[in-house]
Amino acid sequence: MKATAVPTVIRPMRLAERFPILQRTVRGRRLVYLDNAATTQKPQEVLDALHHFYTHTNANVHRGVHTLAEEATAAYEHCRERVAHFLNAPDPRGVVILRNTTEAINLVAQSWGRKLQAGDEVIVSEMEHHSNLVPWIMLAKERGVALKHIPITQDGELDLVSYRKLLSRRTRVVAVTGMSNVLGTIVPVAEVAEEAHKVGAVVVVDGAQLVPHEPVDVRTLGCDFLAFSAHKMYGPTGVGFLVGKPELLEAMEPIFGGGEMIREVHLDRATWNDIPHKFEAGTPNIADAAAFPAALNFIEELTVEAIRAHERDLTAYAWEKLQSLGGLTLHGPADPQRRGALISFVDEHIHPHDLATVLDTYGVAVRAGHHCAQPLMRKLGVVATARASFAAYNSREDVDALIFGLLAARKYFGLA
């Protein structure tokens, strides 16, 4: 259990000092990094951990008796244990170390998907990132499975009434995001999961945005599989996780064959290693996995609760500022308590692409585009949005820089 610590108050300016990249300038300005939903920056501790691995520990894992092999294996396995602890998962064997969220969801779709037959149904929502949509489209195509969609309401929340109507005995999988990367909506996963379990479906949660920003306890979250990426939570790129119920993982076939994942191999047959190793074929991303615990330490030092409180405050501040500018459409729930640390918006007159280019000249990094959620964009009736997304090191000054840049863009385009 987590000890109840004194509530931390986040001082973003102080925190930013721990991120070397935040000290650089962009086009002659202080970098104001507001593209955290795409990937966060990494603190010095994480960079040090990476460096340390390659300068002290580097060896392959699970296949050597020498000291380095032993240490590298321990460092890699430590990552698994830290992730299990971070999410209060009962058993580290339920933590599969992969490349990213996308790979984790594909693993479930391809492997659990083999249990599905024509006529079975998979339910996703209309606000999914392509990585929690396309793997299911592929499965539907391969196996004749029907794909159903939970609609979203006017304020960008899941329409739970419609969801209940979609559920039936044929529902085998319900795959939803924990937090929308476009709308910021926080999805009531526990409620979704409870309903799904009543009809015997398994629940897959795309936690790419949820896990970095909200406290997550897999025992109460209620899902069967949770996918997320280290790089969106101050960790290195190239490492992501599938956290599954061990008994479900046991019942799944591996989708990649090769080294590490086997127990015994003959010329014409093989038996699989235990979970989670049977899903980790080949040499994994050892160094980045070994460095990830440093990112978890960073988060735990601040506490997820404090990060959330800070980000909510920032998001509310940004929402109000953007709203008061006028001429902008802000997407997603207006209530900061119901949304995560990002705001998607569209200026009435300036295309998001032009806006992002002008903002960049002011050192402000935002995302412009469809955010890998084309069906959702269609639903919102826009081709693209600009998105500002926050992390623990962002400050109100960063939001002010965004607003300043926006006003400058309007002036530049002759609109102010």
Partner 1 sequence: MSSRPEVPLDELYREVVMDHYRRPRGRQPLSKVDVAAKGFNPLCGDEVEVALELSGETIAQAQVVSRGCAICTASASIMAEILPGKSVTQAETDAEEFRQVMHGKPFPQDRELGDLEALEGVKHFPVRVKCALLPWMTLKDAIAAFRRGERHAQTTTE
Ligand X SMILES: Cc1ncc(COP(=O)(O)O)c(C=O)c1O
Regarding 110 and contact with ligand X (CB under 6 A), the answer is: no
Please, which residue, 201 or 372, has the CB nearer to partner 1?
372
Beta carbon of residue 27, minimum distance to partner 1 (angstroms, whole number)? 5
Q: What is the 3-state secondary structure (H, E, C) of 19-74?
A: CHHHHCEECCEECEECECCCCCCCCHHHHHHHHHHHHHHCCCCCCCCCHHHHHHHH
Strand, helix or coil at 148?
Answer: strand
Q: How many residues bind ligand X (CB under 6 A)?
A: 15
Find the largest Cα–Cα distance for the chain: 73
Instruction: Select the binding partner of residue 369 from partner 1, ligand X, none (C-beta < 5 to 8 A, by kind).
Output: partner 1
Is 375 one of the binding residues for partner 1 (CB under 8 A)?
no
Cβ pair 90, 115 in contact under 8 A: no
Rg of the chain in Å (alpha carbons): 22
Shortest spacing between CB 28 and ligand X, in angstroms: 29
| Contact status, residue 132 vs residue 376, Cβ threshold 8 Å | no
Q: Sketch the per residue contact string, 352 through 381, with ligand X: x for CB under 6 A, - otherwise.
A: --------------------x---------
Cα-Cα end-to-end distance for the chain: 54
List b or e across 67-93, with b for residues whose CB sees 16 or more CB atoms inside 10 angstroms. Answer: eebebbbebbbebbebbbebbebeebb
Q: Which stretch in 85-93, 96-104, 278-286, 384-392 sits in contact with ligand X by CB under 6 A?
A: 96-104
Question: Does residue 185 bind ligand X (CB under 6 A)?
Answer: no
One character per residue 314-353, x = contact with partner 1 (rule: CB under 8 A): -------------------------------------xxx
CB of 362 to partner 1, least distance (A): 6
Is residue 125 close enough to count as binding ligand X by CB under 6 A? no
Nearer Cβ to ligand X, position 102 or 315?
102
Please tell me the count of residues contacting partner 1 according to CB under 8 A. Answer: 25
**Which one of 203, 287, 289, 372 is the catalytic residue?**
372
- Does 229 bind ligand X (CB under 6 A)? Our answer is yes
Residue 102 interacts, among ligand X, partner 1, none and using kind-specific CB cut-offs from 5 to 8 Å, with: ligand X
**Residue 277 interacts with partner 1 (CB under 8 A)?**
no
Strands (E) across 68-151 are located at 95-98, 121-125, 146-150
Told to judge if 372 belongs to the known catalytic residues of this protein, a careful annotator would answer: yes
Torsion of CA 288, 289, 294, 300, to 10 degrees: 130
Retrieve residue 375's tokens. 């069906």
> Is residue 24 a contact residue for partner 1 (CB under 8 A)?
no
Asked whether the beta carbons of 178 and 37 are under 8 A apart, the reply is no
Is 103:229 a contact under the CB 8 Å cutoff?
no
* Structural contact between residues 192 and 171, judged by C-beta atoms closer than 8 angstroms: no
Whole-angstrom distance, CA of residue 259 vs CA of residue 94: 20
Least distance between partner 1 and beta carbon 346 (Å): 11
Q: Does 208 bind ligand X (CB under 6 A)?
A: yes
Residue ranges in contact with partner 1 by CB under 8 A: 27-29, 351-354, 357-358, 361-362, 368-370, 374, 377, 382-384, 407-408, 411-414
The set of catalytic residues is 372
